[in-house]
Structure 1
Amino acid sequence: MHISLSLAAFLIAAIATLLGAFAILRARTRWGLVARGDGRAIGGPALVAGVVLAVASTARIDLHLIIGGILIILVGTIDDLIDLSPWQKLIGQGAAAGIVAAGIASSPQAPIVPALMGVATFVWIVLLTNAVNLIDGLDGLLIGTIAPAMVVLILISVATGDLFTLILASACAGALLGFLPFNWAHARLLLGDTGSEFIGFFLAVLTVISFVHRPHSSSIPIFFLIAAVPISDTAFAIIRRLVHHRSIFAGDTGHIHHRLARLIGERRSIALLSSISILTSAAAFLVWHAGM
């Protein structure tokens, strides 16, 4: 049953995302729908729709997760349409994270003190939502760095019998695969803030839920390892901006992936960072297995 439901979630998400992406491409051609400042269309809604359809078809979701998910989708969509300020985005992300954190902290399954669980969940969701959003600076890079994390969550969920996390991780993996043909080198579609913020939020929530369902002594290093590339890039960006007395919200092309792209080209940069993500995700699985 576990495998069949997760496979169903994977296939539904992949097919729905693929069809949605085709529909967006067709709409772009017919009505000229393109991203701000770019000739390519925002395909994030196709990925989001694929995940939502797959999860709705195979799992029962708590209300706080639904509300938080809707909020983060709205924040990303509005930002793609009218370009929100960093503080406006942060307030919206904080609201979504706060709702989810409150729901998880109040759960009888919460493995640590509720107040600590709530604060840690809030910070982790906001951090990872933005880290994944920032790593989406080269075609296909977000998928290349997040897909390995989803694979590890799937493997751990299968081993522990955590059906809920398994279904959600499978749905996200399927959607990423379905979107990949449109987002690889010379991408025809961009994820936009709608897609990248949703994936970051989704990954953060998945890791927290995995911890709540199956507490592990090494959960914190495991989670940081599977998200090592986006978190390292964000930390580097914050430190660099502080050293140069700039706002941490100031956009630039000084991210790790931008610097690598100038040195070795975009494709090699994507391949290198994706390979690093595979290695850190594999290390996360080994750390988890060693603690069993």
Structure 2
Amino acid sequence: MAQEYIVVLLVLGAFILAGVLSFWLTPHVSEFAHKVGAMDVPRDSRRMHKKPIPRMGGLAIFMGFMAALMIFGRLDAQMLSILLGAMIIVVLGIFDDIVALGAKFKFCIQIIAAAIPVCIGGLKIEFFTSFNPFSSDPYFSLGVLSIPVTIIWIVGITNAVNLIDGLDGLAAGVSSIAAMTMLAVGLLTNEVMVAITMAALAGSCIGFLPYNFNPAKIFMGDTGSTFLGFMLATMSIEGFFKFYAVISFAVPFLILGLPIFDTASAITRRLMEGRSPMSPDRGHVHHKLVDMGFNVKQAVAILYAISGTLGLTAVILTTSGEAKAMILILAVILVMAVGGRILWSLQKSAHGRKEQEDHEKH
């Protein structure tokens, strides 16, 4: 019992310290962003703000997180390799927020950063749930594919969180919900280091949010969004892909369900239109909600609710049997499909009304 109290105190300490430091550091980071020219100037329809706003707020999130982890965490060789990769991601984000680096260059550096914990720290997705009905094994080994699969997962989630950073408070809020979910699952499965790390990450996000809620005073920029994605991706491997059961597949995908869905739909949409999957557009889920008539705060609240529901589902999976887990997963998929159909219909109706109004004007 004493050990459990110690874990709870460590988790609370990491959460509070990261939150306080992030909140205190954000105004200073904002001043620094002004000095170095890291400003987000609205130049196209994808931008929801009307005047230049400093970015690079993710630097405050990173510093609050690191301080809390250094004091309350336990840094073994694998964790150090993860943090080294995260530092590369943050440095890359700082330069990108100042001078806007090319997508291919950023992608290459992200692969290098992801390869550090995989190749040096031994962080790998080695086993995966088997969905083969003709096999008696509940899982299969990835073998030599474990390295590329793990790197793809890390780089993919890193960019997925970056892609949803399109509305005030969205990426920070969704990331904090995902981190809190991983914290809860980590405690339930006795993954203490995962819980402490996610407490520090959630705290640093929540400390930043008061400055990032609509109307935002500062953006986290690529410095923050890619760092959050990198940490969520690596810690999901550290904590959950090691289970040789259905939750090894379901839990991380549910926790990160919103950014994964948004990224998958964006890539599919762009490829079907004959464009590069890296080309920007105004077709993300948050854009669709705003185009349907929701204001920024309402759209963010809807996406918070979706992320929270998926996170709660992930927590339930860790405390239920596999049969219940599969039923719950199917129910969530069904609800998301119905919800997606409703949103698509609403968007189509709104688009039709807009075309009719434009026609009447002319």
Residue 39 of structure 2 is matched in structure 1 by 35
Instruction: Answer yes or no: is 1:50 the counterpart of 2:64.
Output: yes
CA distances 1:104-134 after superposition (whole Å, capped 9, x unpaired): 5478x96655634322221110110000000
Q: Which has the higher contact order (CA 8 A, sep 6+)?
A: 1
CA contact (8 A) 2:182 2:255 kept: no
Residue 17 of structure 1 is matched in structure 2 by 22
Residue 225 of structure 1 is matched in structure 2 by 254
- Cα offset for 1:212? 5.9
Percent identity, aligned pairs only? Answer: 32
How many pairs does the alignment contain?
290
CA contact (8 A) 1:101 1:118 kept: yes
Instruction: Answer yes or no: is 1:176 the counterpart of 2:176.
Output: no
Counterpart-to-counterpart distance in 1, 2:145 and 2:9: 36
Residue 118 of structure 1 is matched in structure 2 by 147
Instruction: Answer yes or no: is 1:137 the counterpart of 2:166.
Output: yes
Instruction: Answer yes or no: is 1:8 the counterpart of 2:2.
Output: no
CA contact (8 A) 2:36 2:98 kept: no
Counterpart-to-counterpart distance in 1, 2:283 and 2:241: 36
TM superposition score normalised by structure 2: 0.75
Residue number among 214, 217, 220 corresponding to 1:191 in the alignment: 220
Counterpart-to-counterpart distance in 2, 1:232 and 1:75: 25
CA contact (8 A) 1:47 1:175 kept: yes
Letter in 1 for 2:53: R
Q: Return closer, same or farther for 1:106/1:161 CA change in 2, 3 Å cut-off.
A: closer
Residue 303 of structure 2 is matched in structure 1 by 273
CA contact (8 A) 1:105 1:114 kept: no
Task: Quote the RMSD (CA, aligned, Å).
Answer: 2.1
Could you say what secondary structure the match of 1:179 adopts?
A: helix
CA distances 1:215-253 after superposition (whole Å, capped 9, x unpaired): 554221111111111111111111110111011111111
- Cα offset for 1:10? 0.7
Q: Return closer, same or farther for 1:67/1:114 CA change in 2, 3 Å cut-off.
A: farther
Where do residues 194-273 of structure 1 align in structure 2 (5 Å cutoff)? Answer: 194-211=223-240, 216-263=245-292, 264-273=294-303
Q: Return closer, same or farther for 1:6/1:216 CA change in 2, 3 Å cut-off.
A: farther
- Cα offset for 1:158? 1.4
Where do residues 143-162 of structure 1 align in structure 2 (5 Å cutoff)? Answer: 143-162=172-191
CA distances 1:63-116 after superposition (whole Å, capped 9, x unpaired): 321321121111111111111111111001100111112235478x96655634
Counterpart-to-counterpart distance in 2, 1:98 and 1:257: 31
Q: Return closer, same or farther for 1:291/1:115 CA change in 2, 3 Å cut-off.
A: farther
5+ unaligned residues in a row in structure 1: which ranges? none
- Cα offset for 1:211? 2.6
Could you say what secondary structure the match of 2:319 adopts?
A: helix
Counterpart-to-counterpart distance in 1, 2:18 and 2:58: 13
Q: Return closer, same or farther for 1:106/1:281 CA change in 2, 3 Å cut-off.
A: closer
Counterpart-to-counterpart distance in 2, 1:225 and 1:136: 19
Q: Return closer, same or farther for 1:28/1:69 CA change in 2, 3 Å cut-off.
A: closer
Q: Return closer, same or farther for 1:189/1:216 CA change in 2, 3 Å cut-off.
A: farther
Counterpart-to-counterpart distance in 2, 1:126 and 1:25: 27
Letter in 1 for 2:295: G
Q: Return closer, same or farther for 1:34/1:97 CA change in 2, 3 Å cut-off.
A: closer
Larger Rg: 2
Counterpart-to-counterpart distance in 2, 1:266 and 1:142: 13
Letter in 2 for 1:168: T
